[in-house]
Amino acid sequence: MTRFWRIAIIIAMVVCRYAGVGAESLKEQNEALLSKLQHIHGLSEPQMATLRAVFAGSPYIGQGNPAVTQHPATRRECDAKLKQLSIDYENQKYERICGAKYMAPLYDPTREAAEDSKTCIDQFEFPDIPCEYPVVWVRAREAAEICTAMGKRICDAHEWEGACAGRLTLPDYRFDLARGVSTDEAARRMRIAHNNAHSGDKTWSYGPEYRKRVCAADSFKTPGCTGGSWTQCGSNTYPDGFFPECHSPLDVYDINGNAAEHMNLPLNEDQMASRGSTQLGVTEMKGSWFIFDTYRAHEDWCRWRAPFWHGSRVMSPDSHHNYHLGFRCCKTLKGD
């Protein structure tokens, strides 16, 4: 198919959706998603009540604005592809360790086994269900609240980085650089120190070099999307797990591409989610999103920390959200 015809088809699809042809409402999409969440993850009615309240509190949370979103692959196509490849993402070993479906143990394989893990992370972007689309247009606060409702928590930045790189290392936050300065300056100083420390060990979830067509990064922007508009920018993501090769050595998928992800960046030890904090730190956006094969807007190697874009406290009611920003959750495992 020529580039001309590809663009023409995309424009036609968008026009049809603006006209309401076959468009499902956001409320209908979310009701179907919440029902699937309860069934797949075995959620209780109190958990569902909390989730419904978070979703109902936002006019945006979901899998993209149905009027303009055009996913490059359907759920059915995802199921068929995985079936053809004989891929089943269910893992009884991980489920036994993590006490939940579709989570992967976080550990350091150079000195530990999976069974030694004290933390697990979602294998897929929320809703953490293979062949479902990522939830986007979610604020960091809402992401943290959803993770809590799931019996999990938002991840700290170093946990996401370890999941991507295939090795969870000890936290390396330079809290000393954050003392006595503004939040913006603290985040800037800590980011620079961290990135300098890891500039020699750049990796992506799938290997040591950036590779195209490995992850969900060859989608497209909606024609006319020049910023982050709800009405103009479709969340043109792939289903979770559509690219089986896009995984880290710890079996965490779609950590590059598809949707960028909210994480917690603590500015002091009392803000570390991994140590039980509920006040949390500031926002950190990790990973990359669905057009990166054609437009690499920024770095996205595993241990890279981004500038304090649209920065706020994680629990701020006005924390950032947009059409290509989602999240995944972590879970602290209880000791014996």
- pLDDT value for 191: 97
Sorted by sequence, the CB contacts under 8 Å of residue 110 that are 6+ apart come out as: 167
* pLDDT tens, residue by residue, 89-118: 999 999 999 999 999 999 999 999 999 999
**What is the rounded (10 degree) CA torsion for 13, 18, 24, 29?**
90
Contact 234, 14 (CB under 8 A): yes
CB-based burial, 43-73: b 16+ in 10 Å, e otherwise: beeebeebbeebbeeeebbbbbbbbbbbbbb
Two tokens, residue 164: 């991507």
Q: Around Cβ 22, how many Cβ atoms within 10 Å?
A: 9
- pLDDT value for 8: 44
Ordered DSSP codes for 5-38:
HHHHHHHHHHHHHHTTTTPPPHHHHHHHHHHHHH
Two tokens, residue 109: 């394989």
* Residue 7 binned pLDDT confidence (cut-offs 50, 70, 90): very low
**What is the rounded (10 degree) CA torsion for 178, 179, 180, 182?**
20
**What is the rounded (10 degree) CA torsion for 216, 31, 39, 43?**
100
- pLDDT value for 20: 37
Euclidean distance between CA atoms 91 and 169, whole angstroms: 24
- pLDDT value for 3: 46
Q: Around Cβ 80, how many Cβ atoms within 10 Å?
A: 13
Contact 93, 250 (CB under 8 A): no
Asked if residue 10 has pLDDT above 50, the reply is no
Contact 312, 282 (CB under 8 A): yes
* pLDDT tens, residue by residue, 157-169: 999 999 999 999 9
- pLDDT value for 23: 55
In the DSSP assignment, the letter for residue 275 is G
* pLDDT tens, residue by residue, 166-216: 999 999 999 999 999 999 999 999 999 999 999 999 999 999 999 999 999
Report, as an integer, the average pLDDT of 291-299.
93
Closest CA to 234 of 11, 32, 54, 1: 11
- Listed in sequence order, the DSSP H helices in the chain are 3-18, 26-41, 45-56, 75-84, 92-98, 140-149, 157-165, 183-197
* Residue 226 binned pLDDT confidence (cut-offs 50, 70, 90): confident
% of residues, the chain, pLDDT over 70: 93
* Residue 5 binned pLDDT confidence (cut-offs 50, 70, 90): very low
